[in-house]
Amino acid sequence: MNALATYLTTQLPAMLQFTERLVNQDSPATEPANIQQAVALVQAKMEALHMTVHQLNANHPGTILIGELPGTLPGRPVILSGHLDTVFPTGTTAQRPFTTTQSLMSGPGIFDMKPGLTMGLFAIQALQALQLPHRAIRMLVITDEEKIHRDSTADQALAQAAQGADFALNLEGSAALNQVTTTTRGGMIVEVAVQGQAAHSGAAPEAGRSAILELAHQIIQLEALSDLTAGLHVNCGTITGGSSENIIPDFAKTQLGVRFKTNAQREHLLAQIQAIAATPTVAGTQTTVTVKTKIDSLEPTTGSQTLLQIADQHAQAIGIGPLAAIASGGASDAGIIAAQGIPTLDGLGIVGGKAHTKDEFAVVESLLPRTQLIAALLQITHQFN
């Protein structure tokens, strides 16, 4: 066993304990007080590792915790990123707290993705304890990923915080010990709002311009933009509009949930949505299209393929290779970082499954080898940027 593996084995109880504390802290993105309590746990650990710590937009929705550590190897910093929020409301951890057997862990966020943060932090700890040379590290902890940043500006803040990095490792989980993610679909929320002309539907219907009727025509066209074989889906998820059955409605809107495989697809789709909005069926109505939030897709690049090859060599040395590069249907913040031109691998965290359900689980034996892989990648000398 090499020194990293030996050291990490001694840290397994501490890693489980830290994970337990993280999991037992409720952290829905919508509860800033809970988020701050979860952030405080990570921040204290970062400070214990002598990292310089600050928060962007502290106490606001979508705050990002940043921990930085100078390198003893040359080169731009390496990003370790992950999110602290879960999809579960406050009170869930009281009902079903962290539990573990020899083989499996459970609890809210046990796969998606609290152990990933434990693994990143203990990879840093191992490098320090063993005085191994390592790259400069910038750890980014996001707090409203599950809401795809719809109530915050964290997507822009994350893009900003990623600037100047050499490469990035996102610590979401994977389904198997030898898997990492090189492709994720992107997502966005688009609001399509129609303004019409109100009128009494009995006295003067000819004076009205129905926003609901116009929106109905548009919804048929918008949904038809979906192309599932191309990985593109448009879902008119909500509609609102009108005020009374005897008034021609002057207002209607829909929120679109959009998923796409490439950022080029997204731009093309947005142009199509704009074109539909610009050509009304009901004359005299006007439509505005607003992108509420977006997460870029993660697409393989020359840089990310090189990073994958390097990771594969280390994974094989650790005994969890050869690595399989997986395409994931779910959006992830890795896409936002990669869109800044930074080679990015995702899915480096814990192995498990059933995210977003009460049956969510994680595999204990994946903690150590995959933490070792993260630590190994913080030691590479290859420069990407």
Backbone angles phi, psi at 291, to 5 degrees: -80, 115
Tell me whether residue 334 or residue 368 sits nearer to Zn ion (CB atom): 334
Q: What is the nearest approach in angstroms of Zn ion to the Cβ of residue 173?
A: 8
- Alpha-carbon dihedral sign for residues 91, 92, 96, 101: negative
Tell me whether residue 174 or residue 379 sits nearer to Zn ion (CB atom): 174
Q: Where are the alpha helices (H) located in 112-210, listed in sequence order?
A: 114-129, 154-161
Of 197, 285, 286, residue with least CA distance to 249: 197
Q: What is the nearest approach in angstroms of Zn ion to the Cβ of residue 356?
A: 9
Tell me whether residue 215 or residue 363 sits nearer to Zn ion (CB atom): 363
Nearest-angstrom CA–CA distance, 103 and 113: 18
Nearest-angstrom CA–CA distance, 62 and 144: 5
Count of Cβ atoms closer than 10 Å to residue 160 Cβ: 12
Query: What letter does residue 327 receive in the DSSP assignment?
Result: E
Six-digit token string for 171: 């610590």
Q: What is the nearest approach in angstroms of Zn ion to the Cβ of residue 54?
A: 23
Among the listed residues 112, 145, 146, 155, the single catalytic one is: 145
- Single-letter amino acid, residue 330: G
| 151 in catalytic set | no
| 145 in catalytic set | yes
Which residue's Cβ has the minimum distance to Zn ion? 112
Tell me whether residue 86 or residue 254 sits nearer to Zn ion (CB atom): 86
Q: What is the nearest approach in angstroms of Zn ion to the Cβ of residue 362?
A: 13
Residues that bind Zn ion (CB under 5 A): 112-113, 172
Among the listed residues 20, 85, 166, 250, the single catalytic one is: 85
Looking at the annotation, which residues are catalytic? 85, 145
